[in-house]
Amino acid sequence: MLLTPRSRHTPLSSRRRTAALLASAVSVCLLAAAAPPEPLGIGDRLFPYLGNPGYDVASYDLSFTYSGRNDKPLEAVTTIDARITADLERLNLDFTHGTVRSVEVDGRRADFAKAGEDLVVTPDHPLSRGSWTRITVRHTSEPVAAKDQDGGWVRTVDGLAMANQADAAHLVFPCNDHPSDKAMFTFHVTAPNGYAVVANGLPDGADRAGKTTTWTYRTQHPMATELAQVSIGRSAVVRREGPEGLPMRDVVPAADRKALEPWLAKTPDQIAWMESKIGRFPFETYGVLLAQASTGFELETQTLSLFEKNLFSDPAYPKWYVESIMVHELSHQWFGDSVSPRTWSDVWLNEGHATWYEALYADETAHKPMEQRMKAAYSASDRWREAGGPPARPKAPAPGQKISIFRPNIYDGAALVLYALRQEIGRPAFERLERVWVRAHRDSTATTADFVQLASTISGRDLSGFFRAWLYGAKTPPMPGHPDWKQQAPAKDQQAAATKPSASAGRPSAQAGKVSAPAKAAGAGAGGTRSAR
């Protein structure tokens, strides 16, 4: 390159122009730095402000101090190790419903502000793409629900548990609250002596100091934030072995341990049944948490599924039905937990499969024919699609009801898609697909397109047209092998109920939405009587 010679002395007019340009550049920088913080998101179709761009979380280290009162804030420290994926001057975390006391980035104090449901952090140095950073937030974690904010901590009779699906982990701790960003978790929970604490993963010590004990748990596999679980209560922790020596622990109210043991003892055989269908259990441990709380749903929190204790003690629920709901949440450990949805529009892969194995278990162990359930679902499918959207394109949540995406179309409606697929490609190809799916995407995330591609590969034919109609169509296609199956026009009262979103998340029954007392008394027919997310 040819350089033009310049005089040693810069003319006055040139210096003035240079100064003006520098002043302008500084003004631009100051304006950028002073720009108000704003909430960000990764653009999920259903939850556009969940998750944040620019980084990938590798691990969370969560510390909670519980006072013994479940109506008082917990003192908490959240430490996040993340890889930076874009040059950042600021970094957004999902967090609301707690008081932030301080933030550090790489050991140095950082400025912070709230914007919507985001905590916007401004470190004292830019974060460069490809680098690693550690964010430490000291905050409170509020167990009492705020107005129009369902989920997060669940207050039980004797303590707390968590229910973070779909968008409520950030009501408990700062995070990147989207299932596409899975991470390892460590939990440290300090509680008064006499309480038992159990969390996701395996125990790593319980250190007693005076009147309190600090319990530590670590996951051995990555986990989505919505699957985090911490149980604090005056509980009994019941241990046993599952298939091939799998360590198991169940958490139950201490006074009910003996009465609940017959139910707890069923889980190892249920795991063995699932393993016979799709392969080895994907995690380091499993168990059930039976909480004395009124939630209206059950939840597949990773390695420790959450249930209402009432499900196991209310005689109105048939025994076979309770067992099938246990299998629903167990099967989520493969479908939804190990293989997580890349976006919330892919949630049918979670709930459709869990409903499928729930129904298959009832068919094989309680003589409740799956074909009968699928025929009933088929008759209702068109009105489910009209009310909630097709299985792979659910309608956006209703205002103030973020978890209303959990409608019948992603439960029995999605299981119906799997039934149609088995009819289309045959049982051997379908069963091979199920096994390969959970093996290929273990500890990761996957999309509907991934499932379509794998099904096409295994069946040896292009199934994109089949899936397009079944997953995205406004109307339900004809059922392969059952040309006699028809849609049933709803009665006026049924039609009104079908178009009204549920006020609470959960697995709607195959015939209706939220569980009602008459349905509970009747027992499960084509789809059940209770919500199980």
DSSP for 50-81?
SS-SSEEEEEEEEEEE--S-TTSPEEEEEEEE
**Domain 354-472 belongs to what topology?**
Neutral Protease; domain 2 (1.10.390)
pLDDT tens for residues 35-89? 789 999 999 999 999 999 999 999 999 999 999 999 999 999 999 999 999 999 9
In angstroms, the Cα distances linking 58 to 19, 89, 133, 182 are: 45, 20, 10, 8
pLDDT tens for residues 229-269? 999 999 999 999 999 999 999 999 999 999 999 999 999 99
d(C-alpha 382, C-alpha 384), whole Å = 5
Structure tokens of 34? 């002073």
- What pLDDT is stored for residue 144 in this prediction? 94
In angstroms, the Cα distances linking 217 to 89, 185, 187, 445 are: 34, 8, 5, 24
Q: Residue 223 carries which DSSP code?
A: B
- What pLDDT is stored for residue 492 in this prediction? 53
| Statement: residue 491 has pLDDT above 60 | no
Taking the domain 38-233, which CATH number applies?
A: 2.60.40.1730
Segments making up each domain of the chain, as ranges: 38-233, 234-331, 354-472
**Domain 234-331 belongs to what topology?**
Zincin-like (3.30.2010)
d(C-alpha 427, C-alpha 419), whole Å = 10
- What pLDDT is stored for residue 397 in this prediction? 86
pLDDT tens for residues 163-216? 999 999 999 999 999 999 999 999 999 999 999 999 999 999 999 999 999 999
Q: Residue 299 carries which DSSP code?
A: B
- What pLDDT is stored for residue 490 in this prediction? 63
The angle at the Cα of 270, spanning 424 to 183, to the nearest 5 degrees, equals 85
Contact assessment for residue 328 and residue 361, using Cβ atoms and an 8 Å cutoff: no
Instruction: Please tell me the pTM assigned to this model.
Output: 0.88
Backbone angles phi, psi at 484, to 5 degrees: -85, -15
Contact assessment for residue 222 and residue 184, using Cβ atoms and an 8 Å cutoff: yes
- What pLDDT is stored for residue 158 in this prediction? 94
Average pLDDT over residues 337-354: 98
Structure tokens of 364? 């094989």
pLDDT tens for residues 88-118? 999 999 999 999 999 999 999 999 999 999 9
What is the three-class DSSP state of 13? helix
Bridge partners, 247 (sequence order): 241
pLDDT tens for residues 400-446? 676 788 999 999 999 999 999 999 999 999 999 999 999 999 999 99
d(C-alpha 263, C-alpha 326), whole Å = 9
| Statement: residue 34 has pLDDT above 60 | no
- What pLDDT is stored for residue 355 in this prediction? 98
